Chains A and B, each alone.
Chain A
């Protein structure tokens, strides 16, 4: 039970922004939102996390809705190396890191 809902797949053009949505309508006040991505034949890697406020790092931005029931991972300029499966995870008290099926992002040249 991943407790989040994501589209199965999305496509993007290279060098364009990508907005990956995640629904977590049953989120509680202490749940953090984490994003990981998994490149082919590799283990998942951390992308970004947040609680209430929007967050930015060198890889991406995370926009969290005011009611916290949804969030969006933003890749500002997609590259071919960003093609991966992106997982949105709801973590209670920073434990219980359970993955869903994720969104498979395809980046077209």
Chain B
């Protein structure tokens, strides 16, 4: 079974530039999460999708962050414009509501450095 795929693995941008991350969840997983993990901290939930609908985006900084999952499969997370404090690892995870979302599978993450 293929895992959660994320790209790119690393990205370096200057502040005020824009950046996008891509996530391909495990086939058949309707639930998809995006997390931001700043060095030394636990992952922070940014947004949760079920299929192409948003379940929770209460911690997403909507003035600069956006996410979409148009066909209920792949998802993209965008930051525009980036700030220095956005430097972090961005993790995507997926799970199946059919099994009660009891086990989420995480990708390797995208390490973003804003300079």
Q: Are A94 and B101 in contact (CB under 8 A)?
A: yes
**B16 on the A face (CB < 8 A):** no
CB contacts (< 8 Å) of A94 on chain B: these are 97, 100-102
CB contacts (< 8 Å) of A97 on chain B: these are 33, 45, 48, 93, 101, 104
**A44 on the B face (CB < 8 A):** yes
**B25 on the A face (CB < 8 A):** no
**B43 on the A face (CB < 8 A):** yes
Interface size on B, residues (CB 8 A): 24
**A100 on the B face (CB < 8 A):** yes
Q: Are A46 and B103 in contact (CB under 8 A)?
A: yes
Main secondary structure of the interface of A (DSSP, over half): loop
Q: Are B42 and A46 in contact (CB under 8 A)?
A: no
**Residues on B close to A: CB < 8 A?**
4, 33, 35, 41-45, 48, 55-56, 91, 93, 97, 100-109
Which 9 A-B residue pairs are closest in the complex by CB-CB distance? A43-B106, A99-B42, A94-B101, A46-B103, A94-B100, A99-B43, A101-B42, A98-B45, A43-B91
